[in-house]
Structure 1
Amino acid sequence: MSTEEHRNSLADQAAAWVPPWERPRPPRDTPPDAGDDSPRPDHGGETPPEGAAASTIPAEPEPATNSEPRAPEPDTGEPAVAEPAAAEPAAAEPAAGGPEPVAGAAARVPSKRPAQRRRATAPEPARQLDDAELRGALEAILLVVDEPVSEATLADVLEQPATRIGAMLDEISAGYTAAGHGFDLRRAAGGWRLYTRPEYATYVERFVLDGQSVRLTQAALETLAVVAYKQPVTRSRISAIRGVNCDGVIRTLVTRGLVEECGTEPESGAFLYRTTPLFLEKLGLNSVDELPPLAPFLPDDVEELSDATR
């Protein structure tokens, strides 16, 4: 066969070749080989014509994907070089009843890296106040307080050591006394507060009271004194000391905040009473230990009177 006839034969075969997906399919009820005695070519190709057995064009394999078919390339007489197939990751088949797999291997990799935790920054150290600024801050706070304020509270507010606060308060109090001010800074009820000096009490009373004052009765003062010196004490004990019933007076002192309940007596279950911080504040005392002793004011036959009341 000449070269020209060989090329024509190849061209005829390429023109007559029909892709497998365009060929008519036999009915399902008919067996694949029924009524067809002609040999079926492998891979879906047609029977080559006679004389072209040595130069047949191998049929293209059926594509595995749904991509569009490519047109056959003409034979140039050079051996065909197989193109390497693109390696695609095999998708894992989902298990029965399980979740659908995520498309693509890259979808299983997080697109963003987890944010790193920020380390907690150490708080900035408190600024150290100089003596003049610390003195002014303490005086400003003490002018607006309505009850004695402790050194610990002042240290927390000003962010300064409590020892330095206590030393500065002592220095301020000594400075007021040395300068002869009409007010004084002293301890009372476990804290610090500004008070007027006793030598100016008459002027202060004239300004504050102005003839209108609510004073404690003599019975209330006596009851309050008994509670202050005998606390904690029951109402029956107070009544025995005073010789009269003091239930109404106790209620009055509790209402004014000078006396409060502090538990019950184990033997009888009666309520116990004691003085409050307001009592110390009104008297300008730091604790009940600063109360004046009663020995100079007691009669000589106090033991006999005590035995008689039992």
Structure 2
Amino acid sequence: MSDEDRRDSLADQAAAWVPPWERPRPPAAEPDTADAASDITAPSPPTDDLAGHPPVQEPESAALPGELDRAEADRAEADRAEPDRAEPEPGEPGVGESSEAAGVPRRQAAGRRRVTAAPEPAPELSDTELRGALEAILLVVDEPVSELVLAQVLEQRAERVGPVLDEIAAGYTAAGHGFELRRAAGGWRLYTRPEYATYVERFVLDGQSVRLTQAALETLAVVAYKQPVTRSRISAIRGVNCDGVIRTLVTRGLVEECGTETDSGAFLYKTTTLFLEKLGLNTVDELPPLAPFLPDDVEELADATR
């Protein structure tokens, strides 16, 4: 081949040459598994052309296949750790609907939790309803009940219960009923009026009377005015042994133990709520003073006892 023919051949080759960046790219191979990385291909190695042009840089992928596998594994682990929910929340995708289709990111939808609403407060009763409910409860109680307990049962404010009870008590007294509402032993209870006690005793006792002995009454009086007090102190005041009488008063629920004395370790006794209820008292502070019942020569008697 002559030099002229060689030059013509090289000119034809140069005219037919196509730069690498303009050459058509071969189709990517289909992956074996359909996953989130199906449309991502590995970068092809750079190629150098004969004319010294720089290699064509393929666009970088969003993530490598190994990183995508780790991301899928982390997502599956998070889905297994997420507790199941019986039904979707309002605004969340339903069964079979993806979070992305509903416009909610996957992580945000999975992190939501059901919020339980606080219970609504009970409606406030009218004065008439509250009065009737209090009367109904007071008819069935077997011991004085406090205003706080009544307010809790009726689910009403405690400051409303007290004035209504005072109003009920005043209404019974003004109407002249045979019973009255009275505060006793720290609570409220219905009682028969003292002026009708004779008829009530005749009906209840039916000729029988159950009374405390003189020794029991004296011992009970000592406990009421000296409480808390030990049995030895009661015996010293009365001048006789009172162990048997104390046991009788404890059995009848009028006296109870309330601890021990610090120095001697002896049991201390005090009166009970039943004692206040039987005497119609609210607290032991309402006991009558002893001075009017003491003899004039009480100091002489005390000196003689010593």
TM score, norm. by length of structure 2: 0.67
Given that 1:186 and 1:193 are in contact with CA atoms closer than 8 Å, whether structure 2 keeps it comes out as yes
Q: Cα–Cα, structure 1 residues 159 and 190, in superposed 2: closer, same or farther, change >3 Å?
A: same
- What's the offset of the Cα at 1:120? 3.3
Q: Which has the higher helix share?
A: 2
Residue matched to 1:164: 160
Aligned length in residues: 224
Q: For residues 263 and 302 of structure 2, what CA distance do their matches in structure 1 show?
A: 21
Residue matched to 1:35: none
Q: For residues 309 and 236 of structure 1, what CA distance do their matches in structure 2 show?
A: 16
Residues 1-310 of structure 1: pairs in structure 2 closer than 5 A: 82-87=26-31, 106=72, 108-110=74-76, 113-114=109-110, 116-310=112-306
Greater C-alpha Rg: 1
Letter in 2 for 1:170: D
Helix, strand or coil at the partner of 2:30:
coil
- What's the offset of the Cα at 1:91? 6.9
Q: Cα–Cα, structure 1 residues 262 and 309, in superposed 2: closer, same or farther, change >3 Å?
A: farther
Q: For residues 277 and 168 of structure 1, what CA distance do their matches in structure 2 show?
A: 24
- The C-alpha deviation readout for 1:30-59, integer Å capped at 9, x for no partner, is xxxxxxxxxxxxxxxxxxxxxxxxxxxxxx
- The C-alpha deviation readout for 1:115-136, integer Å capped at 9, x for no partner, is 6222231321221111100000
Query: Which segment is superposed worse, 114-123 or 241-250?
Result: 114-123
Q: For residues 25 and 116 of structure 2, what CA distance do their matches in structure 1 show?
A: 64
- The C-alpha deviation readout for 1:104-151, integer Å capped at 9, x for no partner, is 975653468536222231321221111100000000000111110000
- What's the offset of the Cα at 1:271? 1.6
Helix, strand or coil at the partner of 1:281:
helix
Query: Which segment is superposed worse, 108-117 or 185-194?
Result: 108-117
Query: Which segment is superposed worse, 155-164 or 179-188?
Result: 155-164
Residue matched to 1:19: none
- What's the offset of the Cα at 1:262? 1.5
Q: For residues 243 and 108 of structure 1, what CA distance do their matches in structure 2 show?
A: 89
Residue matched to 1:58: none
Letter in 2 for 1:252: T
Q: For residues 269 and 248 of structure 2, what CA distance do their matches in structure 1 show?
A: 13
Query: Which segment is superposed worse, 112-121 or 82-91?
Result: 82-91
- The C-alpha deviation readout for 1:218-269, integer Å capped at 9, x for no partner, is 1111110111111111111211221211110001101111101112222322
* CA RMSD after TM alignment: 2.5
Residue matched to 1:46: none
Q: Percent identity?
A: 79
TM score, norm. by length of structure 1: 0.66
Q: Cα–Cα, structure 1 residues 83 and 91, in superposed 2: closer, same or farther, change >3 Å?
A: closer
Q: For residues 154 and 223 of structure 1, what CA distance do their matches in structure 2 show?
A: 35
Q: Cα–Cα, structure 1 residues 228 and 268, in superposed 2: closer, same or farther, change >3 Å?
A: same
Unpaired segments ≥5 residues, structure 1: 1-79, 94-102
Q: For residues 222 and 299 of structure 2, what CA distance do their matches in structure 1 show?
A: 17
